[in-house]
Amino acid sequence: MVKVRFAPSPTGFLHLGSARTALFNWLYARHTGGKFLLRIEDTDKVRSSKKFLDEILGDLKWLGIDWDEEPLCQSQRFDVYRQKAEEILAMGNAYKESEAVIFKVEKGRQVEVDDMIHGKIAVNTDDIKDQVMIKSDGSPTYNFACVVDDTYMEITHILRGDDHISNTPKQILFYEAMGLTPPKFGHMPLILGQDGAKLSKRHGGVSVEEYKKEGFLPGALANYLILLGWFPGEDREVLSLDEAVKLFDINDMSDVQAKFDIQKLRWLNGEYIMKHKTEELLPLIKDQLLTAGFDISGITDEYISKLVDLYKIRIKTLSELGDLADWFFRDDFTVDEEGKKKYLEKEGNRENVKIFADRLEGLEDFSRENIEKICREIAEERELKAADIIHPTRMAISGKTRGAGLFETMELLGKERVIKRMRGIHK
Ligand code: GLU
């Protein structure tokens, strides 16, 4: 049975690269009917914290990743590492330096790794220093604890980032010393920014948490991360985790560096937003609005749902709704000054808005159809282009040059507020 693991260190947030590693291990386990385990690498007691651990586990769940069995915590197993190191010492393959236990690397031979993604990699042991197993403070080194635990957990395949490629030959030496067959290894190329530099804040953010806050949907982020390392084929790009589980093939994993493209992620997120039911988006949108400082206490879910219906085909992240539709929640909405000049200063346009407002005043049923009818009538009577009424009106009521359809938004905003704002431009 395939047994894989994800082994985060709770010393910081969940990085996008680590999230991708977790996803691929999970995909592999679920595709093969194997097991996906978690190991918490918290040997650094000073830098590890419960807060980071909770955040990492929360982010994994949010992405749709579940795990089998309770996570194994390295901080609970110091005596096991020490005992294993003592065994290697007793076999004569290690020596002590004060409290530290150090593994003796036999020089002049090749260590080979048959990497599932990169193919054969060979390293000469002349290039590998003796390896500390237990440090003088009693804590194990990463490489040693990793081998002891991967053995204990009966891990069959290790998929991790290229940043660990130089660790693998060292780990293989430990397996050999303990008379064990190493698991299979696969190293995924790192995720870089579009400019080829290490992924950083300026490429759009590095942690899962940042994308969550920005209003990316978990399915979209997971979908995008999967595409950074595996090609599902047939130009397929939008695929759910369930579909990915069915189609996944470890042999199709890419051995070239993946470039993170925030625009593509935004596009994908827009696709997911569009496909989601409004009722599913509603609580998320409300959270976003609250975080952005909107007072939604007196506003019904029905009202916000209608707004979401109007905007969900136009936004790429959930947080964009607050920016584009602030005018539904407050009278001091942001105004696009360029657009204001363009549409309100154009000769005749203010007058057009006034006439439109006068006519709307008498409208009993303030429906989108009726509003549109009046607009078209005025255009015809006065031989105007409808655009010369629509653009300045949109500017007057929303301060924006674009948005959802004008008549629908007027209906939702309500007669009183619409007319007040249309009149407001004449003061
Ligand atoms: N704690 C290591 C990391 O986060 C795990 C590496 C491994 O998968 O062996 O990079």
160 lines ligand 1 (CB under 6 A): yes
266 lines ligand 1 (CB under 6 A): no
Strand segments (E) across 250-300:
258-259
7 lines ligand 1 (CB under 6 A): yes
- For residue 325, what pLDDT is reported? 96
- For residue 427, what pLDDT is reported? 61
| Nearest by Cα to 243 from 64, 66, 59, 18 | 64
CATH code (residue 177): 3.40.50.620
| Nearest by Cα to 224 from 181, 200, 259 | 259
Which of 75, 164, 165, 170 gets mutated to test ligand 1 (max ligand atoms within 8 A of its CB)?
A: 164
Domain boundary among 188, 217, 247: 188
CA 78, 79, 83, 84 torsion-angle sign: negative
Q: Is residue 241 in some structural domain? A: no
pLDDT digits (tens, 9 = 90+) for 180-207: 999 999 999 999 998 888 888 888 889 9
Range of the domain at 88: 3-188
Closest ligand 1 atom, residue 5 Cα = 8
| Nearest by Cα to 30 from 175, 241, 310 | 241
CATH code (residue 351): 1.10.10.350
The rounded Å distance from CA 9 to ligand 1 centre is: 7
Q: Is residue 53 in some structural domain? A: yes
The rounded Å distance from CA 234 to ligand 1 centre is: 33
| Interatomic CA distance for residues 365 and 368, integer angstroms | 9
Report, as ranges of residue numbers, the positions in the chain whose pLDDT lies below 70. Answer: 427
146 lines ligand 1 (CB under 6 A): yes
Determine which residue's CA is closest to atom 10 belonging to ligand 1: 8
Q: Is residue 267 in some structural domain? A: no
Q: Is residue 130 in some structural domain? A: yes
Which of 4, 9, 14, 74 gets mutated to test ligand 1 (max ligand atoms within 8 A of its CB)?
A: 9
Domain boundary among 188, 203, 231: 188
Q: Is residue 198 in some structural domain? A: no
In eight-state DSSP terms, residue 185 is E
The rounded Å distance from CA 102 to ligand 1 centre is: 21
Q: Is residue 222 in some structural domain? A: no
User: Which amino acids are annotated catalytic?
Assistant: 201
The pTM assigned to this predicted structure is: 0.93
Q: Is residue 138 in some structural domain? A: yes
| Interatomic CA distance for residues 65 and 19, integer angstroms | 10
Q: Residue 43 — φ and ψ, nearest 5°?
A: -75, -25
Structurally, the chain folds into a number of domains equal to 2
Domain boundary among 170, 188, 206: 188
Closest ligand 1 atom, residue 158 Cα = 8
Q: Is residue 249 in some structural domain? A: no
